Every structure is written in structure tokens, then in C-alpha cells.
Structure 1
């Protein structure tokens, strides 16, 4: 299993970032490749376009409000998992840390695209881009 960790500092209070992460319908606005996101019972369903392929993914999301931590894991499609962790910097600034876990071969099979180092670099660029888009979204909505 490969793991990628990234973070970004956001100029909003922690509770504002936390609320945005919980609005499933906003995922297409900051997660590249997600066309639609909706809650279906205890799962979140994502319609995703990645590597020229369309696919539906079901994700189980668990949050621990006291720890400002959201964990997620796919229940259908490729095996993917991760966490979003919010850390208080001060009253007006928050750090969003992301941890993304994936099996490189599974990602290639499910979505196509490069292999090896090129795949890791592409995933890293994608996560960084998603973080930047989240920052812009949540700061603009403030």
C-alpha cells in the first residue's frame, strides 16, 4: 500500500473548514474527476471520471468531531482510503492535512494512467490541486 501525505493552510476558522468537508455535494467543486457526489444512507456515492474512465465509487465516511478527523474508505471499486485532519493554527487559520492510501496496481487497473514513479507523481499533483481548490472554495465562501 502506498501512502501520500500533504497539507495546506487555510485562512478560515476550523469550524468553517469542517462544515465544508461535510457537505458532500461540494466535492465536485474541489476534488478533480468527481462529477457528482451524494449521500446514500450510510455511504457517500461518487461518480468519477479518471484516466478517461467513468466509474461509481461508494465510500464509507467516519468522522470524529472531537478530533476534527474524517476517515474514509471505498466499499466498492478500487481499494482506496484516507483521512482529512483539521488542525487549529489560530482563531482564523486552519491546517488541512490529507493522507491518501492506495495500491498502485489497483489504481492503474481501475483508472488507467501511468505506472510506477509517474503514477505517484500524478497522484501527488492531483492531491495538491484538490487541496488548493478546497482552500479557494472555503475561503471564497467565508
Structure 2
């Protein structure tokens, strides 16, 4: 099992950052390699990804969600085995720290090498930088889920 932990500060209020993160179908706009996410219900979504020429499909389930604080998930289907949490910490009224912690099980030699070389860490860091650019350019979220799961 490998673990990735990254964070970034964004210049939006905590509720704006959190609300945007709950819009899973927007992830392809800032997550490199995510082709499509289909929200099945409040807890479950189906992902299609393509990373380094490898296509995958899998389902995820929200296991814990508290508005303006965190969203935790795990995979439930497909050959990808991961879980993680994205946390949101208010820095001040207009700035938020977004922290990602993800555990994953590399599948095959290529993924094991990528994990060992820090490629996955760089991918997550890049996704967070693109999230920052996306939400700061918009200034407002495209929607939001305020339910607690």
C-alpha cells in the first residue's frame, strides 16, 4: 500500500472550496487523466480514467462527509484499490487549505515503479494546482452538496 499526502492554499472561502469539490462531474476539468465521472447517487459515482495509456473504470463510495470539513471515499468496484480524504481548513475568511491524503495499491510493475518514483505524488500535486486555478478563476462554485454522509 502506498500513501500520497499533498496540500494547497486557495484564495476562496472554505465553503466555496468545499462546495466545488463536491461537484464530482467537474473533476475532469482539473484532474489530469480523469475522463468522466458519473454521479450515481449522493454516495456513489462511476469513474473513467486514462493515465499513461492505461484506461480504468471503477466505482467510488463516500464513506464520510462533513460540509466545509472533509470528504472521505473508497473504491468499491474495478481493479483500482484506493481510499482517501480531502480536508478543508479555513485559513481566514477568503483563504482555505485543501489537503489530500490517499492510500492506493499499485497494480502491476508500472504502477509500482510510478509510486516509487513519486509520479503519483506529482500527479496529485498537479491536480490540486489545477483545482486552485479552476476555483480561483471562477471565484464561485458551480454547485455544492451540503448533506452529511
**TM-score normalised per structure 1:** 0.88
Contact between 1:34 and 1:49, CA under 8 Å: does it hold in 2?
A: yes
> Which gives a bigger RCO, structure 1 or 2 (Cα 8 Å, sep 6+)?
2
Residue 80 of structure 1 pairs with residue 82 of structure 2: yes
Contact between 1:60 and 1:74, CA under 8 Å: does it hold in 2?
A: yes
Q: Match for 2:135 among 130, 133, 138?
A: 138
Q: What runs of 5+ residues in structure 1 fail to find an aligned partner? A: none
Residue 119 of structure 1 pairs with residue 118 of structure 2: no
Q: Corresponding residue for 1:36?
A: 36
Change (3 A) 1:114 1:69: closer
Please give the root-mean-square deviation of Cα atoms over the aligned residues, in Å: 1.5
In the alignment of these two chains, the number of paired residues is 135
Contact between 1:51 and 1:113, CA under 8 Å: does it hold in 2?
A: no
Q: Corresponding residue for 2:51?
A: 50
More helix by share: 1
Q: What runs of 5+ residues in structure 2 fail to find an aligned partner? A: 140-149
